[in-house]
C-alpha cells in the first residue's frame, strides 16, 4: 500500500456533532449554568470554613472545581450517548471550569475570609488593655471598616439575620467599597496576562502542568481514560480515602496514614532529640495522593528542588543551632532569604525580557513590528483553536504547587518608622491579603487564561472579568449570612478570632516596639537574591543542571511541610521510570498522576459533601 492510499479515519458520530462547537467555548448556556452554580459553590466554601474543614483554594488546582468538572463531564457523557444534539463541547466544559475557578478565588482562605475579619476586628477587639484606640484609632479609614458594635456583636453571637436592617445597613456600604476594590485589583491581572502572553506562550513555552487533568477530563474521548495505569492509581487513592473515611465512623477499621497528624510514626522530629538536632522543627512524612499526582505532573527539576531545598532549610536551622547563633531572634531569617529569592525571580524575568518589553512599548505607541503581538486576544471576538493555541495558552496559565502567603510576614528592612499615620493604612490593607503568591484564593492562574485566546477571545475575557465581582459578592454574602445565623464566636471555627486581630496585633507591635532598620534581615534578603540569581545563571549556562532556582524561594512555606514527601516520591518515581522503565512506562506516568489526583479528590469531595448534607464530621483528605 502506498502512502497516498491510506485514507483518514472517518469521524464518529460524537465528533460530527461537535464539529460546529469547536470554537464555541463561551456560550450562553454554559455561562448561565456557571451563574447558577457560583452562589451554591460560594455557600459550600463558607460552610467549609465555618466547620474548620480545610479550604480547597490552598492549592491552585481547586479540588471543588475539579470535582464539579468531573460531574459535569459525566452528565455530558449521557448527553453524548442519548441526546448528542444538546451535548456540551470540550471548550464549553473548560469554560465552565475556568469561570467557576474564578468565582472560587473570591472565597479563598487568605483573601476575603481574612478581609471580612480584619475590617471589623478593630472595633470588636479594641480594649483599654491593648491600647488600639490610643495607638492608631484616629488614623484608620473608617469608610472601610465596620464600627457599629451592636451589629458586630450580633454577628459574633449569632441567632440574627443579615436581612435585619440594623445589620445590612451597617455592612452594605463597607462591603460595597471592598467589592469595588477587589474587583479592580483582580481585574488588573487580565492586563498583565495580555502583556506577557506572547512571551510566555510563544517564546518561553512555559509549562504549567496543572491544566493537563482539566483538559483531559473535558475531552470527548480522553486517551488516558483507557490506560490501565490510571484506574490502578485511581483505585489506590480512592481506597485510601474510603478506608480512612470509614475509620472516622468505625475506629475498629484501621486507617491508612497519609496526612500530617494521622500517626505519630510519621513525625520524623522524634528522631531529632537534643541540641542542635531539635532545631529541625516540624518535620513530618506524609503521602497525600493528590499532591503526589501533582508532583508527577511537574518537571523533574522543580519537584527535586522543592523537597531538596525544604530539607536544606532544615539543615540550615540545625547548623545555626550548632554554632550557637539561634540566640539571635529569627536568625537566619529564612523568610527574608525567601523574599530575596522572589525579588530575584522578578528581576531576572524583567532583565531577560528587555527586548520583549521594548517591542511591546513600540506597538503601544503605534510603531514596531505589527506582527509582534500577532495571535493575541482578538478584542473583536475572534477565537483560537482548541488543539493549538487554546491548549498551549491554558497550560501556560494554570499553575501547580506554588508558595503560600507566609512571605507576607517577611520583613526585609525591619520595622522602620513607627508612625501610625503610615502603619495604620497598611494594617487595614492587610485585610485584603493581596492575591498571591500561592495564595489561598489566588485569582491570576484561573482568570488570566481568558486572554490566551481559549476558543472565544474577548468573550472569555469578558466572561471571566464578570465572574470576579459575582464571586466576591456571593463570598461576602454567605459569610455574613452564616455568621449572623450561627455566630462567629459561637458555632464557628477558631479562625475568625485570630484573623480578626492578626493585622492589628502586628501593627501594635510595630508602634510599641519599633526596631528601626534591621541589617540582619536586609543582608538575608540580599543573600537570597544572590543565591537565586546565581542558581539561575548556572541553569542558563548548563542545560543539564538538575535544580530549579524557584524551589529556593518556594520551599520555606508552611504548606511545604505537607508537600515535601509527596514531591520526593514523585521525583523518585519519575527518575526511576525514566532510567529503567522504557518509553511505555514513561508514557504511563501522566495517567498514574491523573488517577492519583482523581481518586483522592473524588472520594475526598464525596466525604465532604456527605458531611455538608448530614452535618456530621467526616474524613478530610487535605491537608
Q: How far apart are CA 375 and CA 452, in angstroms?
A: 9
Which are the contacts of 252, defined by CB distance < 8 A and separation ≥ 6?
none
Q: How far apart are CA 192 and CA 195, in angstroms?
A: 5
Half-sphere exposure of 252 (CA within 13 A, CB side): 0
Q: What is the pLDDT of residue 436?
A: 32
Question: Which domain range does residue 290 map to?
Answer: 38-614
Within-domain flag for 30:
no
Q: How far apart are CA 594 and CA 585, in angstroms?
A: 15
| Block residue for cell numbers 506524609 | 286
Buried b (16+ CB within 10 A) or exposed e, 373-393: bebbbeeeeebbebeebbbbb
Q: How far is CA 543 from the centre of its chain?
A: 29
Q: What is the pLDDT of residue 595?
A: 95
Q: How far apart are CA 175 and CA 375, in angstroms?
A: 39
Within-domain flag for 6:
no
Q: What is the pLDDT of residue 424?
A: 52
Q: How far apart are CA 183 and CA 193, in angstroms?
A: 16
Q: With beta carbons less than 8 A apart as the criterion, state whether 375 and 389 touch.
A: yes
Q: How far is CA 551 from the centre of its chain?
A: 17
Q: What is the pLDDT of residue 414?
A: 58
Within-domain flag for 412:
yes
Q: With beta carbons less than 8 A apart as the criterion, state whether 356 and 204 touch.
A: no
Would you state the cell numbers that stand for residue 189, as one nine-digit string? Answer: 491581572
Q: How far apart are CA 397 and CA 447, in angstroms?
A: 9
Angstrom CA distances, 254 to 242, 299, 482, 609, stand at 12, 35, 36, 23
Q: How far apart are CA 590 and CA 272, in angstroms?
A: 37
Would you state the cell numbers that stand for residue 527, as one nine-digit string? Answer: 543573600
Q: How far is CA 33 from the centre of its chain?
A: 24
Within-domain flag for 107:
yes
Please identify every stretch of the chain with a pLDDT value under 70, giving residue numbers as ranges: 1-24, 109-110, 190-209, 363-457, 514-516
Q: Tell me the three-class secondary structure of 245-307, residue by residue.
A: HHHHHCCCCCCCCCCCCCCHHHEHHHHCCCCCHHHHCCCECCCCHHHHHHHHHCCHHHHHHHH
Strand, helix or coil at 518? Answer: coil
Half-sphere exposure of 287 (CA within 13 A, CB side): 12
Q: What is the pLDDT of residue 401?
A: 32
CB atoms within 10 A of CB 576: 11
For the chain, what is the domain count? 1
pLDDT single digits (tens) 424-462: 554 555 544 433 323 444 444 444 444 444 444 577 778
Buried b (16+ CB within 10 A) or exposed e, 446-466: bbbbbbbbbbbbbbbbbbbbb
Within-domain flag for 564:
yes
Within-domain flag for 228:
yes
Q: With beta carbons less than 8 A apart as the criterion, state whether 241 and 609 touch.
A: no
Entry pTM? 0.82
Angstrom CA distances, 83 to 19, 22, 157, 341, 443, stand at 16, 18, 51, 54, 35
Buried b (16+ CB within 10 A) or exposed e, 31-53: bebbeebbbebbbbbbbbbbbeb
Farthest-apart Cα atoms in the chain, separation: 92
Within-domain flag for 26:
no
End-to-end CA distance of the chain: 58
Within-domain flag for 11:
no
Q: What is the pLDDT of residue 452?
A: 44
Amino acid at each position: 500500500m502506498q502512502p497516498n492510499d491510506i485514507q483518514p479515519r472517518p469521524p464518529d458520530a460524537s465528533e460530527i456533532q461537535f464539529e460546529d462547537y469547536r470554537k464555541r467555548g463561551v456560550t450562553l448556556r454554559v455561562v448561565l449554568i456557571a451563574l447558577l452554580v457560583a452562589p451554591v459553590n460560594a455557600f459550600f466554601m463558607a460552610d467549609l470554613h465555618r466547620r474548620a474543614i480545610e479550604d480547597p483554594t490552598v492549592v491552585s488546582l481547586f479540588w471543588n472545581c475539579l470535582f464539579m468538572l468531573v460531574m459535569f463531564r459525566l452528565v455530558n457523557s449521557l448527553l453524548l450517548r442519548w441526546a448528542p444534539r444538546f451535548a456540551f463541547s470540550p471548550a464549553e466544559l473548560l469554560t465552565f471550569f475556568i469561570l467557576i475557578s474564578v468565582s472560587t478565588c473570591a472565597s479563598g482562605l487568605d483573601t476575603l475570609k481574612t478581609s471580612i475579619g480584619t475590617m471589623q476586628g478593630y472595633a470588636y477587639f479594641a480594649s483599654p488593655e491593648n491600647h488600639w484606640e490610643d495607638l492608631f484609632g484616629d488614623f484608620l479609614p473608617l469608610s472601610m471598616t465596620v464600627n457599629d458594635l451592636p451589629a458586630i456583636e450580633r454577628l459574633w453571637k449569632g441567632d440574627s439575620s443579615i436581612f435585619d436592617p440594623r445589620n445590612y445597613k451597617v455592612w452594605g456600604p463597607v462591603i460595597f467599597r471592598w467589592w469595588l476594590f477587589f474587583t479592580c485589583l483582580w481585574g488588573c491581572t487580565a492586563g498583565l496576562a495580555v502583556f506577557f502572553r506572547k512571551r510566555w506562550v510563544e517564546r518561553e513555552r512555559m509549562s504549567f502542568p496543572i491544566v493537563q487533568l482539566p483538559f483531559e477530563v473535558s475531552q470527548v474521548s480522553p486517551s488516558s481514560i483507557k490506560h490501565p495505569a490510571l484506574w490502578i492509581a485511581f483505585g489506590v487513592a480512592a481506597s485510601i480515602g474510603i478506608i480512612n473515611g470509614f475509620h472516622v465512623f468505625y475506629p475498629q477499621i484501621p486507617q491508612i496514614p497519609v496526612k500530617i497528624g494521622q500517626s505519630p510514626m510519621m513525625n520524623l522530629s522524634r528522631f531529632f532529640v537534643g541540641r542542635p538536632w531539635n532545631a529541625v522543627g516540624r518535620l513530618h512524612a506524609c503521602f497525600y495522593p493528590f499532591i503526589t499526582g501533582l508532583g508527577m505532573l511537574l518537571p523533574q527539576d522543580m519537584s527535586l528542588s522543592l523537597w531538596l531545598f525544604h530539607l536544606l532549610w532544615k539543615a540550615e536551622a540545625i547548623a545555626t543551632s550548632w554554632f550557637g547563633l539561634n540566640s539571635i531572634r529569627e536568625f537566619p531569617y529564612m523568610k527574608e532569604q525567601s523574599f530575596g529569592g522572589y525579588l530575584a525571580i522578578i528581576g531576572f524575568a524583567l532583565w531577560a525580557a528587555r527586548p520583549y518589553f521594548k517591542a511591546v512599548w513600540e506597538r503601544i505607541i503605534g510603531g514596531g513590528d505589527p506582527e509582534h503581538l500577532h495571535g493575541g486576544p482578538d478584542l473583536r471576538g475572534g477565537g483560537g483553536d482548541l488543539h493549538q493555541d487554546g491548549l498551549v495558552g491554558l497550560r501556560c496559565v494554570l499553575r501547580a504547587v506554588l508558595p503560600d502567603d507566609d512571605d507576607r510576614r517577611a520583613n526585609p528592612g525591619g520595622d522602620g518608622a513607627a508612625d501610625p499615620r503610615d502603619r495604620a493604612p497598611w494594617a487595614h490593607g492587610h485585610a485584603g491579603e493581596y492575591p498571591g503568591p500561592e495564595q489561598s484564593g489566588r485569582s491570576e492562574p484561573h482568570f488570566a487564561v481568558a486572554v490566551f485566546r481559549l476558543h472565544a477571545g474577548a468573550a472569555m475575557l469578558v466572561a471571566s472579568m464578570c465572574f470576579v465581582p459575582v464571586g466576591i459578592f456571593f463570598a461576602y454574602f454567605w459569610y455574613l449570612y452564616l455568621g449572623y445565623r450561627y455566630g462567629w464566636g459561637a458555632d464557628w471555627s477558631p479562625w475568625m478570632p485570630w484573623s480578626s486581630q492578626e493585622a492589628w496585633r502586628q501593627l501594635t507591635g510595630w508602634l510599641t516596639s519599633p526596631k528601626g532598620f534591621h541589617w540582619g534581615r536586609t543582608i538575608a534578603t540580599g543573600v537570597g537574591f544572590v543565591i537565586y540569581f546565581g542558581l539561575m545563571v548556572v541553569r542558563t549556562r548548563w542545560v543539564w543542571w538538575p535544580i530549579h532556582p524557584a524551589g529556593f524561594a518556594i520551599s520555606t512555606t508552611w504548606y511545604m511541610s505537607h508537600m515535601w514527601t509527596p514531591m520526593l516520591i514523585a521525583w523518585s518515581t519519575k527518575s526511576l521510570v525514566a532510567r529503567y522503565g522504557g518509553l511505555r512506562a514513561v508514557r504511563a506516568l501522566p495517567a498514574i498522576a491523573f488517577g492519583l489526583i482523581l481518586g483522592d479528590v473524588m472520594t475526598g469531595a464525596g466525604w465532604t459533601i456527605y458531611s455538608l448534607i448530614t452535618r456530621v464530621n467526616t474524613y478530610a483528605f487535605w491537608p
